[in-house]
Structure 1
Amino acid sequence: MAGKRPGDAPAGDTAAKRARTAARRQKTTVSARLRRSETKHDTYVVRVGASRVVATVTARPAVARRWVFSTRWRHGRRLRSGAGLTVGMGVQWTPPSRALAGGAEPRPGTLQLCVGSRCLVFQVAQGNAVPAALRRFLADGGVAAFVGYGIRSDCRKLAAHHGLHVACTRELRAVTGMGSASMARMAEELLGLAGIKKPAAVGRSRWDAPKLSKKQVKYACVDAFLSHRLGVHVGAAPPSTSSSDSA
């Protein structure tokens, strides 16, 4: 029997590497279904591979406020410890039909946030106000780090049209060290979620519509969910604080 050559990887390591490669090649299943439709909001269940995300879709400030309060309550122990939250964030907008004057920012259609297995898709273009609870949540850098792809551009749109300030942001292209790689590639390389697509036609659709389509909800939710998961993976958290009143 031939001897083992210097530098050969252990058999276990080789098998594990092959398993990871095979997992990356297997396309990740992404689906969305409407679980419940109410007057003030819709509830969707979005599945990304083995993960199940419950998405609240609404234009009502009161529903968005309740989502923020319940998120802070669910993660109260973590917030009281000073660890803070890693929140996936994204903004969708309808591309303008003509060039905007003076470098003006397009008006946001939705703001989507994701923490754990819960997502909020807030239709800011349809809502008549942004609730104070959501404003405080975004502006409190000790409570949460908001992670997203192109997040500075998103924040400029929110500031220009809604006066929103996002205190603690993390740009995925920087924190992952993957530069201009797409979010889909980041998800494949870092999370093992292969083949996730963000259809360009959906990205260019009417995000200011009174009611979002299932494809739009899936697109927005996947965007925020992947931002959250990638942020957690690389440890993108807010500065640690010992304040006990942040929850």
Structure 2
Amino acid sequence: MASPTADTKSSIRSVKYRDSHQVYDVVFGSTTIKTLVTRKPEIVDSWVGCMRSRDDNINIIGLDIEWRCKSLTGDHTRPSTLQFCTVQRSPGTKYFSLDEGGGNGYKCLVFQFKDCDKVPQSIVNYLGSKSCVFVSERMTYIKDKLEEHYKLDVAYPIDINQFIKVRKPEKPTNVRNSDWDKSYLDPTQVRYACLDALMSYEEASRFISTNKGPRKVNHRLSLDGMTQYLFGVTDPEIAMEEENKEEEEEEEEEEEEDDFDVIVSDEVEDGDYDMVEEDEDFDMISHQDVYEFEYPPLK
């Protein structure tokens, strides 16, 4: 997906409309996000099952919620919807049959909590999976609300604002303060909810692409270590691997410093040796200005 610009436009088109679920194509610039809206657990189970990685890869998922404000003062009630946005791209992956087209690409689920006596177990497992990293610009708030109202826990969360400076415009208040508890969401609400989760996904995936390699990391240890490094999620095996690696790097640095002292103490003529200065390792935690961009307003 290309970086958003001031000219980036969004639109929405209804693909399928059923009592149990609705499917939309949300278009943002040149990107189409196949978006499923439902409150039916069996449909959620099917969607989550198709999005789960079939191999040892780690998936990045944009996460967000919407709620209905009690008043214009911003008093919040419980979350009305839960949104996931990710990219389905694994070869041989079983495609979700209800999205009228399937295939690889951007996928979004908007789950409605309305009339939900119990949160589908597939969502519980999805949020708790070690193969999924969930990202949002307001992760602390989302985690608190999901825990408070639905006893849901996010195992591997990222608050992307800790690592990227993002200047985002004000969202349309008429949509933000609309009735998110109604049985059938309006297309404008669906687009709003989808783009919320999409932006979180794009921020994180572009950040990881810039500083840590491709969006989808092919080695579990690599991203498990990163999640621990970023979010303080401690896995004993990963912690031990990281500790041993750090000790080895420190020993290598000490040896290099010793070798350098020997070289510079000798009398040498120009051209006898070349000294190449190594780049400093990128420090993701302390470096706060790695990436900055601005999203256009939602029309």
TM-score category of the 2 structures, normalised to the smaller one? 0.7 to 0.9
For 2:15 and 2:145, locate their aligned partners in 1 and report how far apart those are by CA, in whole Å: 31
Q: Deviations over 1:58-111 (max 9, x none)?
A: 011111111110101xx323xx2xx411100001000123989xxx97200000
- If the length of structure 2 is used for normalisation, what is the TM-score? 0.60
Structure-1 residue corresponding to 2:132? 144
For 2:17 and 2:72, locate their aligned partners in 1 and report how far apart those are by CA, in whole Å: 35
Any runs of at least 4 consecutive aligned residues in structure 1 with deviations exceeding 4 A, and if so which? 23-26
SS in 1 for 2:69: coil
Compute the displacement of 1:26 (Å): 4.2
Alpha-carbon contact 2:70-2:76 (below 8 Å) kept: no
Compute the displacement of 1:216 (Å): 0.3
Alpha-carbon contact 2:60-2:133 (below 8 Å) kept: yes
Structure-1 residue corresponding to 2:54? 76
Amino acid paired to 1:37: Y
SS in 2 for 1:239: helix
Compute the displacement of 1:118 (Å): 0.4
Alpha-carbon contact 1:149-1:227 (below 8 Å) kept: yes
Amino acid paired to 2:136: G
Structure-2 residue corresponding to 1:223? 196
SS in 2 for 1:107: strand
Q: Deviations over 1:3-51 (max 9, x none)?
A: xxxxxxxxxxxxxxxxx9xx87541010011110122100000001111
Q: List runs of 5+ in structure 1 lacking aligned partners.
A: 1-19, 185-196, 243-247
For 2:155 and 2:77, locate their aligned partners in 1 and report how far apart those are by CA, in whole Å: 21
Instruction: Choose the corresponding residue for 2:81, options 110, 119, 123.
Output: 110
Q: Deviations over 1:103-154 (max 9, x none)?
A: x9720000000011000000013433211111011012x2111111111101
Q: How does 1:1-247 map to 2 (within 5 A)?
A: 26-72=6-52, 75-77=53-55, 80=56, 83-97=57-71, 106-116=77-87, 117-140=106-129, 142-176=130-164, 178=165, 181-183=166-168, 198-235=171-208, 238-239=223-224
Alpha-carbon contact 1:108-1:125 (below 8 Å) kept: no
Bigger relative contact order, structure 1 or 2 (CA pairs below 8 A, ≥6 apart) = 1
For 1:144 and 1:126, locate their aligned partners in 2 and report how far apart those are by CA, in whole Å: 27
Alpha-carbon contact 1:40-1:60 (below 8 Å) kept: yes
Amino acid paired to 1:132: Q
Alpha-carbon contact 1:105-1:157 (below 8 Å) kept: no
For 1:96 and 1:57, locate their aligned partners in 2 and report how far apart those are by CA, in whole Å: 23
- If the length of structure 1 is used for normalisation, what is the TM-score? 0.72
Alpha-carbon contact 2:82-2:111 (below 8 Å) kept: yes
What do you get for the CA RMSD once the two structures are aligned?
2.6
| Count of aligned pairs between the two proteins | 196
Amino acid paired to 2:50: S
Q: Deviations over 1:175-224 (max 9, x none)?
A: 21x1xx4445xxxxxxxxxxxx7312211111111110000000000111
Task: Tell me: CA distance 1:135–1:143, structure 2 relative to 1, closer, same or farther (3 Å).
Answer: same
SS in 2 for 1:158: helix
| Structure whose alpha-carbon radius of gyration is higher | 2
